[in-house]
Amino acid sequence: MRRMPPGYISNFDSASGMLRATARYLQGRDFPGWGLGTPVKRILPLASHLPQWAREAIYAGGGLGEGIALAKTHKVSSDRIAEWVTGLYPARKYPGAMIGSSNGALVHLAAALGMPWLPQTMFVPVRQADVHPDDAISGLNSGLDAGRRLLEVNPDIQLHHMHDPNQDRLMLHTMTYFRIKWIKLAQAYKDFLTDALSPGDPIIIVDCTRKWPVTRLGDRHVFQFGALGGATEKDFHEGTPAVAEYLKKYDSHRRKWEPPAPTETYTEAEWGFAPPLRKEIEDFAARRGHPIITLRLEEPEHLSPFVADFYRDQLRKRGKPHNRLFIESFLMVEPYWTMRTGSVPYWMKFNMEPSREAVLRYLAQSDRYEDIYLTLFQHGVECVGLPPIDDWREVIGKAGRRGTFLGFDPDLYPRDFGALARYQDSVQEIPSRYPLPGPVRLEDLRQFIVRDPDRYDISWEGLPDVAQHREQKADA
């Protein structure tokens, strides 16, 4: 069982973090320190006591330490990455498997169903120097040859070279973002699914249809300027007063960004599902006798209200209190302690204004939660779309009894980098302890959906037929 990732895979990423959190839960284990080693977990909180410039330097230096050299991208092996992914999961039979888009709410859904999730997207950080964060064209050119070398030795992937000077400003000083997406089903994925599933067990394709303007560089190669978060596509590609103010604050030589002209709108780099993989999955499933279920959503956070309400419903069915909400941010997810504390998970894709507005809409439409716990990812930049800390106090103020920040110092927000090592310990401070429940049946999921099928901005294609068939087979 391969535990250590290849040296060119980032630990500091949504996909790898969510993958390991899911695998740890299926091992019956928690996810301490966001998977950081013990020395790093002990040292990182000390950085919160340093001056701002020192904290930012340490944060950026962490990216430099994870990156692979531009000249060595030909050493990246998608096969080896897939072997590492599948090696994280216990070797046993599962009631089904998920494959596709990254999503924090999906981590909790996979945990509830007792299913592994195989990501389509992984992040390969690549070291770069002498590229200013606000110079998109230099960023593109810096990674062009390296990207082509990576693609030459990995014919089963497509490459999304991403450059986001808004949220990733500190990291872009030392590295650039290569996100790879499998467009063929990796052999390690096939082997794992063959061993882990029995004929009749479903494969759930997680299809986030979110797109973004990109510049096409080759058949399997695109450059994406900007990303989902606080800034809009207009902010990134046309310029706005908010962008001008942000760039002035950081003493940039620009007052608007001038990225290469987009040639098309295509699958978003971090969260979107690349359609070519679908046929590969369907062909494999047909040969092995696995029904296909498609979970489709446009925005990553569209799944969050559904999962929160589903968890609340399951707690109610088990006769447990169901008025404690745990709001997570980006890769700071903890399925094990969410279950053990009887909490309802609500995942935000980032700590930006669109996410804050989404969680406020959810709270306005839900029965009141007595307790609300909120953790925020600390990315170190006062960027376009970042709400001030008082606006987050409005969120926890919706609690009927107690609302509290969890795992970070609000006075240091958004630069309390020690929170990356601290938040999981803080989750354990939530009162109450319950044993881990067994996996929820697909039929229970179907029954929850059919009560109000139009309530959520997601769709489940194929689930009713599969769930009912499995239930009838079990009764027989």
Q: What pLDDT is attached to residue 296?
A: 98
Read off the pLDDT of residues 397-418 as tens digits, 9 standing for 90 and up.
999 999 999 999 999 999 998 8
For residues 158 and 45, state if they share a domain.
Answer: yes
Q: What is the mean pLDDT of residues 125-137?
A: 93
User: End of a domain among 427, 447, 468?
Assistant: 427
Same domain assignment for residues 112 and 191: yes
User: What confidence category does residue 424 fall into, taking pLDDT thresholds of 50, 70 and 90?
Assistant: confident
Tell me, yes or no, whether 264 and 315 share the same domain.
no
Whether residues 42 and 100 share a domain: the answer is yes
pLDDT tens-place string over residues 154-174: 999 999 999 999 999 988 988
Q: Specify the number of domains making up the chain.
A: 2
Triad 112, 113, 114: Cα angle to 5°: 95
pLDDT in tens, 176-229: 999 999 999 999 999 999 999 999 999 999 999 999 999 999 999 999 999 999
pLDDT of residue 65: 61
Of all residues in the chain, the percent with pLDDT exceeding 70 is 90
Instruction: Single out the residue in 252, 278, 297 at which a domain terminates.
Output: 297
State the average pLDDT for the chain.
92
Q: Is 254 among the domain residues?
A: yes
Q: pLDDT digit string (tens) for 47-66?
A: 666 666 555 565 655 555 67
The torsion angles phi and psi of 346, rounded to 5 degrees, stand at -130, 120
Question: Do residues 288 and 310 both lie within one domain?
Answer: no
What local confidence, expressed as pLDDT, does residue 425 receive?
A: 83
- Span 317-337, average pLDDT: 95
Instruction: Return the CATH number at 395.
Output: 3.40.50
202 with 343, same domain?
Answer: no
Confidence bin at 432 (pLDDT 50/70/90): confident
pLDDT in tens, 71-99: 999 999 999 999 999 999 999 999 999 99
Beta pairing class for 292-297 and 458-461: antiparallel
Residue 2 predicted with pLDDT over 80: no
> Are 251 and 350 members of one domain?
no
Say if 234 falls within a structural domain.
yes
Domain contains 203: yes
Same domain, 78 and 216: yes
Domain residue limits at 218:
14-297
Q: Are 290 and 341 members of one domain?
A: no
Residue 359 forms part of a structural domain: yes
Task: Label residue 476 by pLDDT band (50, 70, 90).
Answer: low
In a shared domain, residues 292 and 336: no
